[in-house]
Structure 1
Amino acid sequence: MSQARLKSVQCSSPAGLHRMAYKEWGDPANPRVLVCVHGVTRVADDFDQLAQALCGHYRVVCPDVVGRGRSQRLRDPAYYTVPQYVADMVTLVARVTQGDDGDGGVHWFGTSMGGLIGMVLAALEDSPVRKLVINDIGPVLDQGAVQRIGEYIGQDIRFPDFDAGAAYVRTVSTSFGPHTDEEWFKLASDVLRQDADGQWTRHYDLGLAQPFRAITPQQAALDEAALWAAWDAISCPTLLVRGELSDLLSHATAQEMCSRGPKPRLVEIPGVGHAPTFVRADQIAVARDFLLGY
């Protein structure tokens, strides 16, 4: 079984410098790079199974977006926004493609927030994104779901032991769909850490909630318009994945996405809400078949 290498890259925000950690799988000399980016409170480890399945074809790069996991926290949480994340990813892509024999391009797999980052990056002129997988996200974000996420991520919840924390993660993640006990254990252990007092907490900066709380209806409308403009500017081959029961990406929005912009292929994962985890072989096969073209 392939082992990941832990690395980091220095990035910049208006508040100063920060280091973004990432896991790298596969041949470090492979010019074919797949970047996998997680959801708002998740981490690079979410892609361990997908990376192991694809690292024979790609060098798979899985960052902990700033403020999560092994990455540093921003000095000013107001910058926990998609434009900052896109800037960080430009720095990361430049690092992992520097000196390669390829054209500096990458393939991109983004779950939820990672999909939004991928959309905005793919829309830029001279974008390095050559193929794009968007996992259960789109330009229209259900405001009830966004509010639910904002409230959830800002709660300073501590657990007396790992089992209590794992039970909580499993409860709040039921929309991920059916998983084995072993899969739930990993999904929990990836995002829980033990603090100096022996309690267990979620492995991200609670300041992530600040930008959510600052969103007004007017700002939400502007953000939606900007995301549709980004979507319409994407020209690379694109796969759109939707959880059949998703409350964040509606079926109607997915259908509209298929009629404009990159006009992606749409795959709906039955019995799953927000968002498919791609830890199982059937879901991994959906991504592999699109990315590798067979």
Structure 2
Amino acid sequence: MAFTLEQLRGFVAVAEELHFGRAAERLSMTQPPLSRQIQKLERVVGAQLLERDNRRVGLTAAGEVFLVEARRLLTLADGAPELARRVSSGSSGVLRIGFTAASAYGVLGRLLDDLGAALPDVDVDLAEMVTREQVAGLLAEEIDLGLARPPFDAERFGSRLLHRESLLVAAPLGHRLLALDRPVTAADLAGEPVVMHSPTQARYFYDLVVGFVPAASENAVHTVSQVLTMLWLVAAGRGIAFVPESAAGLTIAGVGLVRLETPVREPVELHLLWARESKNPALWRALDVLADGQALS
């Protein structure tokens, strides 16, 4: 047998008024049924909560402790319908976002600012994932929204272009490529040792680079998946690397950057990605916000 919310409200009223008559009036009821509510509550709890006689009503030690919890439970109960409405509308709840490491260099911060300003009651959980991990996470409902690289399965996923940027060549300071007064071409890179993107962990960038500089994979001296690691290896003189323009914000000592000549000036794409069958209302509100927000560029 469990106590009811009506019994809790009756107990709190008596505990605050320390008078059954005033408490009954406050609750718009008569005193006898209020007394029965308190008696039933004490039987369920298994402890005397109130001391009462003909002259006064007081709280027992157990009643003082129970009053704190009773107020907390009533606050939760009273707020539950509003919370449910907010979650249903997407203005409250949790949004789980997966992002690639490279997307964190500027884009992610602006996106979070837009969401925080428009949906302050939505909690955002972040998880760093490469694109293939994001795809798996979306299908398993482990994340709600991804910041990922194309291509995507259009039947399973919705996507929206979030950001475009140039592809840069990173080289050690003093390297001849940095002295060119123009973008670097594929011909300029002949024979250069390359710190290359992993064909499995960073497939998007691998395919992009090989498409523009076919010899890049043949000249690879190291294969890594993270842009920051690439830049550290470039700083150590291990070779050149191809990085998105946003990586310029990392300012690694000993590394210079120059734009790679490409048919499209900004070939590097970052997309918002979500499962079409998602049932999280916060996702759909977030997509509305980001459609109009400053994060999209």
TM-score by length of 1: 0.29
Greater helix fraction, Structure 1 or Structure 2: 2
Q: Which has the larger radius of gyration?
A: 2
